[in-house]
């Protein structure tokens, strides 16, 4: 595939994804995908990765998220494969992109989810970076509102899920989600660049939580 053909393919996939997700309201919208795409490209260039796989994996990583398909994590890779096949992409590339998508998600604190390829690690890092920091906080509350979760329940303790099934069935508060997932992500980054970015975003979340609890008790 020539450079021009790769650019045309990426642009075509991006346009279809944008049309599908532009008005999504749970925090898994087009702009989340756009940010993951751009961050993955940034990290991918530093890591000398296969940029076609990185960009396609990033653009399609949420094409059919299991959270919106009754916990079925086979839907995303299948839908992505169909989209790429319709564009004449080779089975080898389709298989590699589907693998990236199948390995990207967080599945609980006690579940190992390190991707098996460099490109998968990069897309996972980019996706997780968008779950932390200022934007990550905003997305967490947007998603919790979408799921009708309470903002905070004093006395409700976080649960550190040891299985994917337990995590998928979890019902928690927005604040507990910080402890069950978001504050864990800094230590789960794969690449040097992502670890550096994550450290700053992690610190911001810690400061936010301090302020949140202070205001909750009327101290600030």
| pLDDT greater than 80 at residue 95 | yes
Mean pLDDT over all residues of the chain? 91
| pLDDT greater than 50 at residue 135 | yes
Instruction: Calculate mean pLDDT across residues 28-57.
Output: 97
Whole-number pLDDT of residue 106: 79
Helix (H, G, I), strand (E, B) or coil at 105: coil
| pLDDT greater than 80 at residue 67 | no
Query: Is there a contact between 40 and 10 (Cβ–Cβ < 8 Å)?
Result: no
The residue segments making up the domain with residue 81 are 3-216
Tell me, what DSSP letter sits at residue 182? G
Question: In angstroms, what CA-CA distances link 4 with 8, 10, 14?
Answer: 6, 10, 15
Can you tell me the distance from the alpha carbon of 126 to that of 35, in angstroms, rounded to the nearest whole number? 8
| pLDDT greater than 80 at residue 110 | no
- Alpha-carbon 152 to chain mean position: 23
Q: What CATH number does the domain containing 117 carry?
A: 1.10.3210.50
Give the closest residue to 130 by CA, choosing from 207, 43, 212, 67: 43
Can you tell me the distance from the alpha carbon of 113 to that of 102, in angstroms, rounded to the nearest whole number? 10
Number of domains within the chain: 1
Q: At what angle do helices 30-46 and 51-60 cross, to 10 degrees?
A: 160
| pLDDT greater than 70 at residue 12 | yes
Whole-number pLDDT of residue 40: 98
Helix (H, G, I), strand (E, B) or coil at 2: coil
Tell me, what DSSP letter sits at residue 158? -
| pLDDT greater than 80 at residue 126 | yes
User: Which residues contact residue 213 at a Cβ distance below 8 angstroms, ignoring those fewer than 6 apart?
Assistant: none
pTM of the model: 0.90
User: Tens of pLDDT along 138-174?
Assistant: 999 998 988 899 999 999 999 887 776 766 667 789 9
User: Tens of pLDDT along 193-214?
Assistant: 999 999 999 999 999 999 999 9
In the chain, what percentage of residues exceed pLDDT 70?
A: 90
| pLDDT greater than 90 at residue 75 | no
């Amino acid at each position: 595939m020539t450079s021009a053909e790769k650019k045309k393919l990426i642009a075509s996939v991006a346009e279809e994804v944008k049309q599908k997700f532009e008005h999504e309201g749970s925090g898994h919208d087009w702009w989340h995908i756009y940010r993951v795409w751009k961050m993955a490209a940034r990290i991918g260039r530093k890591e000398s990765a296969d940029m076609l796989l990185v960009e396609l994996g990033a653009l399609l990583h949420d094409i059919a998220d299991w959270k919106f398909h009754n916990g079925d994590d086979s839907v995303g890779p299948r839908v992505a494969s169909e989209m790429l096949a319709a564009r004449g992409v080779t089975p080898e590339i389709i298989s590699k992109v589907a693998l990236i998508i199948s390995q990207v998600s967080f599945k609980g604190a006690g579940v190992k989810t390190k991707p098996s390829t460099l490109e998968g690690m990069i897309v996972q890092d980019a996706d997780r970076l968008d779950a932390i920091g200022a934007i990550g906080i905003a997305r967490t509350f947007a998603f919790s509102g979408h799921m009708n979760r309470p903002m905070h329940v004093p006395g409700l303790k976080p649960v550190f899920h040891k299985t994917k099934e337990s995590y998928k069935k979890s019902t928690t508060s927005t604040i507990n989600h910080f402890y069950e997932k978001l504050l864990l992500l800094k230590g789960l980054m794969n690449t040097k660049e992502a670890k550096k970015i994550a450290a700053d975003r992690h610190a911001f979340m810690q400061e936010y939580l301090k302020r949140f609890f202070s205001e909750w008790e009327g101290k600030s």
